[in-house]
Structure 1
Amino acid sequence: MPQRSFNLHLVSDSTGETLNSMARAVLARFPDPHVIYHRWSLVRSRFQLDQVLEGIKAEPGPVLFTLVDRSLRHSLEEVCGQMGVTCLSVLDPVLDLIQSQIGEQAREKRAAQHVMDADYFRRIDAMHYVLAHDDGQGVAGIEEADCVLVGVSRSSKTPTCFYLANRGIKAANVPIVPTSPLPPELDNPPCPVIGLTIDVPALIDIRRHRLKIIGGVGVRQDTNDYIDHEAVKAEILAARRLCTSRGWPVIDVTRRSIEETAATVLQLMEAWHARRGGNAPTPGSIGV
């Protein structure tokens, strides 16, 4: 039976990232959800809420919200109740649990996670670091890194580093090139070094697409070692052997999202520091 499409309203007094993430996480468990998203962010006044309510009336559907202001919450819940529309404050169950454990009430402060505190500046600093140490640049600054990602070209090192930077992690990435030695800074690295690997067919597809984007002028795609099956296979095998010989863990990114790869990197970082009796950098929170 074909699924009926429905409207889903996400109402937030901040950026709405938490609502978006929660909705994606839940809907990912359904094979082919037909959802029409209505995203209402930075709703902080009665006038703005009235616009939201008009939108819900025009296209009714369940409402998920994160609103701190009590009067706005009450108005949203009241009008949704009158319309017979389901309305849910997604953070309330977690907030109640934490309040009961801590023994005090949470502050009524909207967008508290977005203040320009030390954590915010740590993420900005990490972003600048990734930009300066991408693809083998600035290897002299590796001693400042929280982790180093190594792998063959197009194995998702750069996007993973940027994702980690958004968590406040300074991640450098160094390519493993068949004919080039690794920088001497990795002979005795001061931080975890983690390899990224990928299946041969998947890597070839990515590299072919890359060649098409940059034009591939004068490059025969059927013979270039960059996308030749046997050459790529040997390149990946050599990279894995290198990581094994140095005791560096390897993550297969073939069927992983960037988020999953980054989560595994963080786990490996914690294990690395635990073996040495130290503490891994605490990942910063990503906005609600």
Structure 2
Amino acid sequence: MNSKEVVYVVSDSVGETAEFVVKAVASQFNGGHVDIRRSSYVEDTEDIEDVILLSKQTNSIIAYTVVIPVLKEYLDRRAKEEGIIAVDLMNPLIEAFTNKFNKLPNRQPGMMRKLDEDYFRKIEAIEFAVKYDDGRDPRGIPRADIVLIGVSRTSKTPLSMYLAHKRLKVANVPLVPEVPAPDELFEVPRNKCVGLIISPDKLNDIRKERLKALGLTSQANYASFERILEELDYAEKIMKRVGCPIINVSNKAIEETANLIMDYLKSERS
């Protein structure tokens, strides 16, 4: 395939299903180099006419997942009149379901998205956790379902990702004596924040291993006992000021800590 070859993906919903199928087919032809142009949420014949016009001007195919009968029929007719190849990716299987299982389709666009709403919530939560990881942007703090605070190496990031897979939007903020805690942290309800603490000995071991993995000396200030005590003392003061519950993660697996956080959230909401 070359860059001049175009597939117009047309849908009365998002069009993700059609695009996925097109990419799967294109991958069978010299690496799948095809220009996919999506036209989502087509609502009337004018939307279809726009695609027909564009398709006439290019070396293209139309692949569609249009379930609204009047729009499907119009697209089929206009494509035939203009000599354009238009492939219905859903109707053959819909007819097979109808004939074999003796059931009638709803013919409602977006049903897949409705079924996958839980999936999309998870993706949204994961993207949120990545965007607001490690205090990158304090604007995420008021928007989070839960805010995790603690010193470095208290599992804030893996906890955030684990909770994101449970559909919770999590922001996490590292507490460092030299860096003032963001103002937003003291403005969120205390029941939306959880402090993570750890024993000095455990943190010392973890940080030494971290430095070793980075090829650095374990004598660095980051892993010194004096520095660790200073950070933990600072973190405790911030947590008391916020008034949030505190979990000691010293000997807890990520799943165990996450379950404690989720149980706490449930108790606050009930």
| TM-score class, shorter | 0.5 to 0.7
**Aligned residues of 2:195 and 2:245 also touching (Cα < 8 A):** yes
Aligned counterpart, 1:139:
138
Correspondence 1:206 to 2:206: yes
Higher relative contact order (CA 8 A, sep 6+): 1
Aligned counterpart, 1:221:
218
Aligned counterpart, 2:28:
none
SS of equivalent to 2:221: coil
SS of equivalent to 1:168: coil
RMSD: 1.7
Q: Give 2:168's aligned amino acid.
A: I
Counterpart Cα distance in 2 of 1:208 and 1:230? 14
Deviates more, 1:240-249 or 1:155-164: 240-249
Q: More helix per residue: 1 or 2? A: 2
SS of equivalent to 1:226: helix
Counterpart Cα distance in 2 of 1:135 and 1:116? 33
Counterpart Cα distance in 1 of 2:142 and 2:237? 24
Counterpart Cα distance in 2 of 1:156 and 1:229? 19
- Listed one character per residue, the Cα deviations across residues 167-197 of structure 1 (whole Å, up to 9, x for unaligned) are 0001110000011111111121156111001
Counterpart Cα distance in 2 of 1:272 and 1:186? 19
- Listed one character per residue, the Cα deviations across residues 145-183 of structure 1 (whole Å, up to 9, x for unaligned) are 100000000100011111001100011100000111111
Aligned counterpart, 2:267:
271
Which structure's CA Rg is the greater one? 2
**Structure 1 residues not aligned, in runs of 5+:** 1-114, 275-288
Correspondence 1:252 to 2:252: no
**Aligned residues of 1:160 and 1:262 also touching (Cα < 8 A):** yes
Aligned counterpart, 1:155:
154
Counterpart Cα distance in 2 of 1:270 and 1:205? 34
Q: Give 2:223's aligned amino acid.
A: I
Counterpart Cα distance in 1 of 2:254 and 2:137? 24
Correspondence 1:127 to 2:126: yes
Structure 1 residue 127: deviation in Å? 0.5
Counterpart Cα distance in 2 of 1:245 and 1:184? 12
**Aligned residues of 1:192 and 1:272 also touching (Cα < 8 A):** no
Q: Give 2:262's aligned amino acid.
A: L
Structure 1 residue 116: deviation in Å? 5.3
| Alignment length (residue pairs) | 156
Name the TM-score, length of structure 1 as normaliser: 0.51
SS of equivalent to 2:222: coil
**Aligned residues of 2:133 and 2:171 also touching (Cα < 8 A):** yes
Counterpart Cα distance in 2 of 1:184 and 1:271? 27
Name the TM-score, length of structure 2 as normaliser: 0.55
Matches within 5 A, 1:1-288: 117-190=116-189, 192-216=192-216, 220-222=217-219, 224-274=220-270
- Listed one character per residue, the Cα deviations across residues 109-143 of structure 1 (whole Å, up to 9, x for unaligned) are xxxxxx95211111111011111111011221222
SS of equivalent to 1:130: helix
* Change in 2 beyond 3 A, CA 1:116/1:203: farther
Aligned counterpart, 2:15:
none
**Aligned residues of 1:253 and 1:261 also touching (Cα < 8 A):** yes
